[in-house]
């Protein structure tokens, strides 16, 4: 048995729980089981008429996977399993997936956040510990800045891709062979359907390498374009990644129980309903629907700001350039870099001040327990990107920090944590005809 095989035997026998500073246990994502990390391989295997993956075994006998020449993957940002269950009786397409296909559930990754989950899907299932893009706000030691990852902008800048102007390379986001490049090597054509606003950005340049980008202006344009592409003559197996972000955006701004969020859901699934009426004669195509995460209601007025914890900021690590490294991450999970020798003091201050509202985990323990996935091939900067302490708010609480020049947190919906509402996503499959 090789060292790698021994390693994976060990991790498979480890607990799926992470012990916190207070002694509580937190369940971590099922990375080795039914998880979104397994989707890219499932899609590739399906197009190659192979069943050698855990998801294919899960759906065996429920949806035919033979002779598939097209996979269409609807990634509905923020439409978690909870949302599916809430709205499944309101839209015929959701009922159709359950009645004529299969509905299961998958775990997302930690943090349950769009940049993290999408980066896993775009790198053929790499774990967060491997690809290293572990949040929306990310401390990047190489340039000594907290950056907004998908917009590729430093904290304090609202200009998309502004980091390019200081010479920062998009490779600090992702520097791996993409899903699409790997599929191409296997003779699989790939198409990515995204809104025209996301076309030609630093993130798309590194995340979608190898894929044909097909843009649209609105939801109706999306499905007209998709139908046109699916009904063209086809020379090779094709994977179609169809991303939609408006539902998540409405949930963030107004809350996932708001009328605005419901309207965003209505617009998308009404259009998807109409698409399937038109697409009924499309053969040898597997339609899959899932999400990157769910979402919960939060009250921004009740956000706990870590700069109110007396004495804490004095313990923040100082960078190689002499800059104090302020907390980063997001409001459902925060990362703190602490000076050498001050870890226990920082944990004590946090526990005393806000321990009833949060769970505290050392980043070292989180990495060892597999919160970001168990792997030998960790990202070279993973330790600096997750700091020394991870703060996980309980229930629907949020935490943040008053960063200079930044507005206070004001969203009414958020995700990133480990609650079922944030972590569990649907896994719907259907084959027409």
CA–CA dist 314, 115 (Å, integer): 30
What are 38-64's pLDDT values in tens digits?
A: 999 999 999 999 988 999 999 988 999
Same fold, 3-29+299-410 and 36-130+175-296: no
Return the pLDDT at 83: 98
Instruction: Name every residue whose Cβ is closer than 8 Å to that of residue 30 and which is 6 or more positions away in sequence.
Output: 16, 107
Contact 250, 264 (CB under 8 A): yes
Contact 336, 316 (CB under 8 A): yes
CA–CA dist 111, 329 (Å, integer): 9
CATH topology assigned to domain 36-130+175-296: Alkaline Phosphatase, subunit A (3.40.720)
Instruction: Name every residue whose Cβ is closer than 8 Å to that of residue 235 and which is 6 or more positions away in sequence.
Output: 189
Average pLDDT, the chain: 95
The number of CA neighbours under 13 Å toward the Cβ of 217 is 1
Helices (H), 155-214: 179-185, 202-207
Question: What are the Cα distances from residue 225, in Å, to 77, 109, 142, 192, 398?
Answer: 19, 30, 40, 11, 39
**Block residue for tokens 């992470």:** 18
Helices (H), 165-280: 179-185, 202-207, 219-230, 246-254, 259-278
Q: State mean pLDDT over 130-143.
A: 99
Q: Where are the domains of the chain?
A: 3-29+299-410, 36-130+175-296
**What architecture does CATH give domain 3-29+299-410?**
2-Layer Sandwich (3.30)
What are 376-397's pLDDT values in tens digits?
A: 999 999 999 999 999 999 999 9
What are 75-84's pLDDT values in tens digits?
A: 999 999 999 9
Give this prediction's pTM: 0.95
């Amino acid at each position: 048995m090789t060292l790698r095989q021994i390693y994976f035997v060990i991790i498979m026998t480890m607990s799926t729980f992470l012990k916190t500073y207070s002694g509580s246990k937190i369940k971590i994502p099922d990375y080795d089981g039914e998880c979104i990390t397994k989707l890219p391989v499932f899609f590739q295997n399906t197009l190659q008429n192979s069943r050698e993956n855990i998801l294919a075994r899960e759906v065996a006998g429920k949806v035919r996977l033979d002779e598939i020449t097209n996979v269409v993957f609807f990634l509905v940002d923020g439409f978690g399993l909870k949302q599916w269950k809430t709205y499944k009786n309101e839209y015929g397409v959701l009922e159709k997936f359950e009645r004529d296909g299969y509905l299961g559930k998958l775990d997302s990754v930690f943090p349950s956040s769009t940049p993290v989950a999408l980066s896993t899907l775009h790198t053929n299932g790499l774990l967060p510990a491997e690809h290293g893009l572990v949040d929306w706000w990310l401390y990047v030691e190489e340039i000594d800045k907290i950056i907004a990852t998908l917009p590729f902008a430093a904290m304090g800048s609202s200009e998309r891709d502004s980091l390019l102007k200081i010479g920062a390379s998009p490779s600090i986001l992702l520097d791996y062979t993409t899903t699409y490049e790997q599929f191409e090597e296997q003779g699989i054509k790939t198409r990515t359907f995204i809104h025209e606003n996301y076309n030609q950005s630093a993130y798309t340049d590194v995340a979608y390498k190898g894929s044909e980008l097909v843009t649209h202006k609105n939801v109706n344009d999306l499905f007209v374009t998709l139908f046109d592409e699916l009904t063209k003559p086809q020379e090779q197996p094709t994977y179609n990644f169809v991303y939609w972000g408006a539902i998540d955006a409405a949930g963030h701004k107004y809350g996932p129980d708001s009328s605005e969020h419901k309207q965003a859901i209505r617009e998308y699934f009404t259009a998807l309903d109409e698409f399937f009426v038109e697409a009924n004669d499309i053969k040898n195509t597997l339609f899959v629907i899932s999400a990157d995460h769910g979402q919960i209601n939060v009250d921004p007025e009740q956000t706990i700001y870590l700069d109110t914890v007396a004495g804490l900021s004095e313990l923040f690590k100082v960078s190689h350039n002499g800059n104090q490294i302020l907390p980063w991450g997001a409001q459902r999970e925060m990362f703190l870099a602490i000076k050498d020798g001050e870890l226990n003091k920082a944990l004590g201050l946090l526990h005393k001040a806000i321990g009833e509202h949060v769970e505290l985990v050392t980043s070292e323990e989180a990495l060892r327990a597999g919160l970001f996935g168990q792997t030998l091939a960790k990202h070279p900067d993973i330790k600096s990107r997750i700091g020394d302490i991870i703060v996980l708010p309980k229930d629907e609480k949020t935490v943040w920090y008053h960063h200079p020049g930044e507005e206070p947190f004001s969203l009414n919906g958020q995700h990133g944590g480990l609650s079922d509402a944030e972590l569990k996503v649907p896994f719907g499959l259907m084959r027409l005809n």
